[in-house]
Amino acid sequence: MKVAVTAERADWDAPVDPRFGRAMAFVIVDTESRTLEMIDNAAGRDAVQGAGIQAATAICRAGAKALLTGHCGPKAFSALAAGGVTVYTGVTGTVAEAVDRLERGELAAAAASDVAGHWA
């Protein structure tokens, strides 16, 4: 399974970025092959609005089925849900620790966004 983690770089030791839409980058972890792939998030980081929607689109296109991040707003959450991505918020630590906790079943899937949206 492919898992997306918000982080600065494709490194198991990189800390989880608490932001989703404006995260530095997304690390796509292949849990079978244990390989990492980085998707730069320049488009979302510098977006005037709709950063979370852009980010959700990128995650879906990368084929990730789960997202590990700090916070996720309502528009991004609904886009991710429509794209079949399970969202886990409140995730901290490194990429390795986050994926490890997911695999051990220690993370609970978010039922809704955990922060308010912007622009109404």
Partner 1 sequence: MIVAVASGKGGTGKTTVATSLALAAGREVRLLDCDVEEPNCHLFLETGPATVETVGLPVPVVDPELCNACGICGDVCQFNAIAVLPEGAMVFPTLCHGCGACTWLCPEGAIREETRPLGEVSTARVGSVELLTGRLTVGEALAPPVVREVRRRGDGAGLVIVDAPPGTSCPVMASLRGADVVLLVTEPTPFGLHDLTLAVEVVRRLGIPFGVVVNRAGCGDDRVQDYCRDEGIPILLEIPQDRRIAEAYARGRPLVEAFPEWRGPFAGLLEALARLARNGDQAPAGNVRVGGAP
The reply to whether 92 sits near partner 1 by the rule CB under 8 A is no
Question: Minimum CB separation from partner 1 for residue 50, in Å?
Answer: 2
For partner 1, which stretch binds (CB under 8 A), given 31-39, 82-90, 95-103, 107-115?
Answer: 82-90
b/e sequence 30-65, b meaning 16+ C-beta within 10 Å: eeeeeebebbebeebbebeebbbbbbbbbbbeeebe
Handedness of CA 32, 113, 23, 50 (dihedral sign): positive
The contact pattern for partner 1, residues 24-63, with x = CB under 8 A and - = no contact, is -----------------------xxxxx-xx-xx--xx--
Of the residues 27, 66, 72, 79, which one makes contact with partner 1 according to CB under 8 A = 79
> What DSSP element (H or E) covers 38?
strand 35-40
Residues near partner 1 (CB under 8 A):
47-51, 53-54, 56-57, 60-61, 75, 78-79, 82-84, 119-120
